[in-house]
Amino acid sequence: MDEKIDRILISEDEIRDRVEQLAASISQDYQDRGPVVLIGVLKGSFIFLADLARRLTIPRVVEFIAVSSYEHGDTRSGAVRLIMDVRDSIEDKHVLIVEDIVDSGHTLHYLLDMLQSRRPASLKSCALLRKAERAEVDVTVDYVGFEIADEWVVGYGLDYSERGRTLPYIGVIAT
């Protein structure tokens, strides 16, 4: 996979430092609220979620959800479908969706709408990466690790054809 990496965009040290900062902010915001339910969006969020969850200083529970975007040829329609749901009820619980990347915003918008209908006490989102210039849907990301340009990136959970997920950094794919 390294042969396809054009350059390292975000180093392992930068990721570690930013995850620490995000965990401190989240811990402060959720202090004295009881456990927060962290919902990791599979597959891309698993490494970020694990590191974030370990650095939180508040009670937390980890859940996972999987979604898929409908594709028509080479384009995405924006339609999203649920592949795997959380196992437990989130009613009256504080929920934080943890995403690897937000680009068009369709997936996060879908998840926020769907999960809000389940009446959580609160519902917020956290993304390691956001490509603001790719936004097609107005969606709030409450905690953002890094704003990045519109480039294809891999590593730290993100993949290219299921390769590169376990790289310890975020790299840009050579095009």
pLDDT tens for 30-44 read: 999 989 999 999 999
Q: Which residues contact 11 (CB under 8 A, 6 or more apart)?
A: 169
Choose the catalytic residue: 17, 103, 138, 150.
103
Q: What is the pLDDT of residue 151?
A: 94
Closest of 13, 7, 68, 58 to residue 37, by C-alpha = 58
Domain 12-71+78-150 coded CATH 1.10.3720.10: no
pTM: 0.92
Q: Give 132's contacts (C-beta < 8 A, 6+ positions apart).
A: 147
* Rounded-to-integer distance, Cα 80 and Cα 67, Å: 7
For residue 19, count other CB atoms closer than 10 A to its CB: 20
The confidence score (pLDDT) of residue 34 equals 85
Q: What percent of the chain has pLDDT over 70?
A: 93
Assess whether 103 carries a catalytic annotation.
Answer: yes
